[in-house]
Amino acid sequence: MTGLALLIPLALMMGLIGLVAFFWALRNGQFEDCDGAAARILIEDDQPSVPPVQP
């Protein structure tokens, strides 16, 4: 029983953290554009949108 007293709250707490993270993502608009998020990883960030000015 002593093991249970520790393990059950621990398991529930981990589940709750997952649930809270899910709610945060939902509120934060993370599910607004799933297709876009999947494609965005392919965009190269380091390519400057404006050519650098020559010194």
Site residues for another protein per CB under 8 A: 1, 4, 8, 11-12, 15-16, 18-19, 22-23, 26, 31-36, 39-44, 49-50
CA pair distance 8, 13, nearest whole angstrom: 8
Report the residue number, 45 or 54, with the smaller CB distance to another protein: 45
> Could you tell me the CA-to-CA distances from 33 to 26, 36, 44 in Å, in that order?
12, 5, 19
Closer CB to another protein, 6 or 34, in the complex: 34
Measured from the CB of residue 54, what is the shortest distance to another protein in angstroms? 18
